[in-house]
Homo-oligomer: A and B are copies of this chain.
Amino acid sequence: MSTSFAEENYLKIIYRLSEGHDEDISTNAVAELTQTKAASVTDMLRKLAEKGWVNYQKYQGVRLSPAGEKIALGIVRKHRLWEVFLVEKMGFNWDEVHEIAEQLEHIESDSLIDKLDEFLEFPKTDPHGDPIPTKNGVMPELGYLHLSDIKADKRCVLMGVAKDSAIFLQLLTKMQLSLGATLHVLEVNAFDRSISVSIDNAPAVFISHEVAKNILVKLA
């Protein structure tokens, strides 16, 4: 069965909202991410349920069916492979690729994605450190930690970000925070939960809790 752009976007967003926990997703949560109104979401959820891509009963919230999850993972796979392409081959910065990938993720051609994957030498993660689902629909679990949860005196490596927004990524770039940077957490400041961090052994700088929350690391 074929999928429209709108349907694909809904499935992708429901997937994102479901990641991690196991609860049903609320209509309002979907409405916020799709940038539509709750009434429109209700409409679409009924349609998606009819096609067997979500389990939905009114007032009970929604979750993806196995079929729906497979579609969502396919879209995410395409999105992230295209992002790699845009950064690695086309020379875009990591804060410039999300919007373009939002369009490219809907291009329908299995052989194109296979060839793209090969062309990019089978990347495991995208330019934001997010894992790329495998061809057969498995999302690798990377198990990164949030920088905000790292204790003082620990060293870690910046592996990814939990937010794609250009404004956030540009700030990181300005702060010399890019994938692979080594971070030495010197101090956690109780007052505002900001942290003092030495980036690649440079003199320490402050990182706000809001920023640290959205930085993913692994312990060194």
At the interface, yes or no: A112 with Cβ under 8 Å from chain B? yes
**Would A107 and B104 count as touching, CB distance under 8 A?**
yes
From DSSP, what is the main secondary structure of chain A's interface residues? helix
Within 8 A of B (CB), among A81-129: 86, 89-92, 96, 99-100, 103-104, 107-109, 111-112, 115-116, 119
Distance, CA A96 to CA B109, complexed state (A): 11
- The CA of A171 and the CA of B107, in the complex, are separated in Å by 28
Residues of B within 8 A of A91 (CB): 115
CA distance A92 to B114 in the complex (A): 11
Cross-chain contact of A107 among B96, B100, B111, B116 (Cβ < 8 A): B100
Q: Give the residues in chain B near A109, CB-CB below 8 Å.
A: 99-100, 103
- A86 and B116 alpha carbons, distance in the complex (Å): 10
**Known: A86-B112, A112-B86. Contact between A103 and B92, CB under 8 A?**
no
Bound-state CA distance A119–B109 (Å) is 22
B90/A115 in contact, CB under 8 A: yes
Distance between A104 CB and nearest chain B CB, rounded to angstroms: 6
Number of copies: 2
| Total number of A residues with any Cβ neighbor in B under 8 Å | 18
Residue pair B115, A107 in contact (C-beta under 8 Å):
no
Per-residue CB contact flags for chain A residues 10-33 toward chain B (1 = under 8 Å, else 0) read: 000000000000000000000000
B112 in contact with A107 (CB, 8 Å): no
Which B residues are CB-close (under 8 A) to A119?
A: 89-90
Whole-angstrom distance between the Cβ of A78 and the nearest chain B Cβ:
12
Nearest B-chain residue to A89, judged by Cβ: B119
Nearest B residue to A114 via CB reads: B90
Which residues of B sit under 8 angstroms from A112, Cβ to Cβ?
86, 90, 100
Q: Given contact pairs A86-B112, A89-B119, A103-B109, enumerate 8 new A-B contacts (beta carbons under 8 Å).
A: A90-B116, A90-B119, A92-B111, A92-B115, A96-B111, A99-B109, A100-B107, A100-B109
